[in-house]
Chain A
Amino acid sequence: MLVKGLRCLQCNAILPASTKFCGICGEKLDKSVKVWPIVSLLSDVAVVLLPLFAIALWSFSLSSIHIRNMTDLGLVSVLPATTIIALLILMISFYIALNQQKPRALVLLLHVLLLIFMLYSITTFVEEAPRFAIVYRHAGYADFIMRTGAVDPSLDAYFSWPGFFIFSAFLTRVAGYNSILSYADWAPLYLNLIYLGPLYVIFCTATANKRIVWLGIFFFYVTDWIWQDYFSPQGLDFFMYLVIIAILLKWFKRSASTPPHSHARRWHGLDRLFSLITRLPLVSRLYEWLIAPDTRLAPVHPRQRAILFACVVVIFAFMVFSHPLTPFMAIASVAALAIFGRITPRWLPILMSVMTAAWIIFMAQAYLVGHIANVLGGVGQFNSAISDNVTSRLQGSPEHTFITRLRLFMTLFVWGLAFVGGFRRLRRGYRDATFVLLAVAPFPILLVQSYGGEMLMRIYLFTLPPMVFFAAALFYSTSARSTSVWKRAGYGLSFLAQEERSAFARSPSKWMKVAVGVICIVLLGSFLFTRYGNERDDYITNAELAGVRHLYSIAPPGSLLMTAWDGTPWEFQNYEKYFHEVLGDDVPDAIVNKDVGAIVRFIENVTATKAYLILTRSQKATAEASGLPPDILNQLEHALLRSGKFVPVYSNSDAQILLYTGGTVRGSP
């Protein structure tokens, strides 16, 4: 065991010292590296013990987190050093495991599972109630279905795409719960765990180098900060999107023996258009590169292929049935792959478009009629989209602005890493046109819709898998070229890249290893800010929830329920029986100027039996983060009470309820 051995530089196999040729890959061992097996034994033990130590340390550190002391920097402002040390230990251990001479998939899997657990379940353990106000509204949709056994598209847009909520309502009832709130807080952990499978499959379709695959997965989990993995249709539909892409890339890639124009008659128009465009020399090269077939193909029986195609269609049908945006992202990605002949059948995006259009025309009519201007109004409004998605977010308290800027910076940083990684792979002779297309396909949707200022974040999410793949490939791609990439770009030429011959190809240089470590630290460190930077606004206390529950217990149906600002955990029960209004959206100036008269006029214009205003801790935190003066909502509360038109009916440490008494409270529900 303590005898010095040799490591083959080609395949990393450890061989006896007297060996002349590698028994694994046949390489001559002239330039092999001498290694002490004891070192590798120690690192084998370390990569199992370190993550276990990290999770133990992390668990113990949770009791030291005092969530109420949080500032606008978010969760990181109250994280004890031990939590951060635990994450660092896990990262170092992952780094060692990844750079071992023969990394073990099970060890790397253990690290990724623990990373997901530590990063995505921390709020579940340290916060009192399910986080994020929108989750409570989603609870309201599921509650409506549970009570009525129906959906009402006139009530809310989500009832035009109710698949997720129907499933939630059914699940909640048969699991014996009364509300999704009993388990919704586990959604981020669960969803991120199930993303792992399709991500692994997707990355494996592009490379056999498992270092790139696992580092890509690690990068994904330390850069997925945009919080679409809460209990939401988007969270589940992103999984469905990944599964569709995984199936298509694994079994539906065009083989080298099938030219891209095999359906020449059917696609005559499209191909003629391409032939016109590609007369320009540079465009011609780019086009040839884009249509060059992938080399990594999985064998599949025609019967299996038919069944898998049916799976793609039914999974997409679920997407169409449950979310307005994800089908368009899927269509954009699949269309990009089909147009350049990277997958077959090429008519798949047409089928997907027909399914989406049919749902919108026949089932989402109610939404379409009332919101056609919203749907089509953003077409071509690029400046407006950028303003909604970027500029308007750069407002608020200094800490909040710092978090927003950091998010923007990290987004650009990840995209930049991906660009450099993609470029490096191109120079090294890899043809990753499939991933390049997946990375750019969702961007044009920004020109059509700003999605309430969230489109850029959604695009970031949908492009994240190919982006992190390229970012990881920056460090571990070995050269695959012997001739110009352009020469090898023509279809029909099959070649095997060096990394495709070995699952864990040659280790990168020392400098690259250092760079991997530094990038991991930067991404992990920034993740704690970017993901949990708004936590002061988003976390919900039991006292707040008790206040809102009390409001529903005293407000008769048909009442007008108001909040001063966003962030209230409400609308989770009897959603359709009340008028819910956010004064910050309806009369923002009245809030800023503490204009009681304007608020009274607003109330008078609503036909309601009674009117209540609830003020909560999360509203105050959100208002301050949005740039309103500190204490503004407390001052508003005093102004309302001084006016004599409101009386307090409930108060606890985090929630105050005022009843409007001064005006004519009239009408029927």
Chain B
Amino acid sequence: MQTMKRVSWLMWLWPMIIMLSASAAGLVTFVFPGLVVRPAVVMWFLFVCPGMTVVRFFGLAENIIEWMLALALSFVIDAFIAGILLYAGWWSPIRILSILIGFCLIGTIIQLVVVYSNAARLELKQMHVKHSKNAQNDS
């Protein structure tokens, strides 16, 4: 719990947005296909999320660069998955979307694990430093 508190909420923001967007895209496509927000939700998901899932691993400092790469990579990932399925003779927009949702969810889970493990490592390191200082003071 302490570890969770130590991690800035910003670190969790994008994984949460991607997870919510993937879930929303799945819902409006498979469960409520008649919703008027369907195009907006699907376009948001397809234009931003696949790329942002990947870009979050790059550790880039600037927001503008993250957005630029996220948009470009989203188009690339969407088009490659759609293209591979088309040339393989398995064209199905629903199948492509499912793969993309799966890709984003898996990527996000890995991200969360990485964030959590980094935070845990940081905490361990800090505890170790504190322990060493205490040991030095005692001696």
Contact = CB atoms under 8 A, between A and B. Distances in A.
A198 B68 contact: yes
A197 B67 CA distance: 8
Nearest to A164: B79
Contact of A174 (B29, B76, B86): B29
A307 B58 contact: yes
B83 A162 contact: yes
A308 B72 CA distance: 12
B43 interface: yes
Contacts of A170: 78, 82, 93, 96-97
A315 B54 CA distance: 13
A73 interface: no
B64 A197 contact: yes
B11 interface: no
Interface residues of B, number: 35
Interface string B49-89: 00000000111100011011101110110111011001001
A512 interface: no
Interface in B75-115: 75-76, 78-80, 82-83, 86, 89, 91-94, 96-97
A166 B82 contact: yes
A104 interface: no
B104 to A, nearest CB: 14
A175 B80 contact: no
B29 A163 contact: no
Interface stretch (A22-30, A64-72, A145-153, A585-593): A145-153
B43 A171 contact: yes
A246 interface: yes
Contacts of B79: 163-164, 166-167, 318, 321-322
Contacts of B89: 149-150
A201 interface: yes
Interface string A195-239: 001101100000000000000000000000000000000001001
A315 B76 contact: yes
A493 interface: no
B64 A311 contact: no
Nearest to B72: A243
A182 B64 CA distance: 30
B105 to A, nearest CB: 17
Name the residue among B57, B58, B65 with the largest chain A CB count within 10 angstroms: B65
A166 B64 contact: no
A246 B58 contact: no
B26 to A, nearest CB: 11
Nearest to A250: B65
B72 A240 contact: yes
A167 B82 contact: yes
B83 A176 contact: no
Contact of A175 (B42, B57, B73): B42
Contacts of A317: 76, 80
Nearest to B65: A201
B68 A243 contact: yes
A304 B80 CA distance: 23
A423 interface: no
A314 B83 CA distance: 14
Name the residue among A239, A315, A318 with the largest chain B CB count within 10 angstroms: A318
B97 to A, nearest CB: 5
B37 to A, nearest CB: 10
Interface in A239-284: 239-240, 243, 246-247, 250
A318 B89 CA distance: 20
B72 A315 contact: yes
B91 to A, nearest CB: 3
A177 interface: yes
Interface string A572-616: 000000000000000000000000000000000000000000000
A321 B86 CA distance: 13
Contacts of B43: 171, 175
Contacts of A174: 25, 29, 42, 46, 93-94, 96-97
A642 interface: no
Nearest to B55: A311
Name the residue among B60, B71, B82 with the largest chain A CB count within 10 angstroms: B82
A167 B78 contact: yes
Contacts of B64: 197, 200-201
Contacts of B65: 197, 201, 250
A549 interface: no
A171 B76 contact: no
B70 to A, nearest CB: 10
Interface string A139-167: 00000010001110000000000111011
A371 interface: no
A486 interface: no
A624 to B, nearest CB: 38
A151 B72 CA distance: 24
Name the residue among B33, B43, B83 with the largest chain A CB count within 10 angstroms: B83
A170 B39 CA distance: 12
B68 A236 contact: no
Nearest to A148: B91
A311 B93 contact: no
A280 to B, nearest CB: 41
A470 to B, nearest CB: 22
B39 A311 contact: no
Contacts of A197: 64-65, 67-68, 71
Nearest to A319: B76
Contact of A177 (B39, B82, B86): B39
A81 interface: no
Nearest to A244: B72
A163 B72 contact: no
A546 interface: no
A167 B39 contact: no
27 contacts: A149-B86, A150-B86, A163-B79, A166-B79, A167-B75, A174-B29, A174-B42, A175-B38, A175-B42, A176-B38, A177-B39, A182-B39, A197-B67, A197-B71, A198-B68, A200-B64, A201-B64, A236-B75, A240-B75, A240-B76, A243-B68, A243-B72, A247-B69, A315-B73, A318-B76, A318-B80, A321-B80
Given A163-B79, A163-B83, A197-B68, 4 more contacts: A151-B86, A175-B38, A301-B59, A318-B79
The 4 closest A-B pairs by CB, nearest first: A149-B91, A173-B93, A197-B68, A167-B79
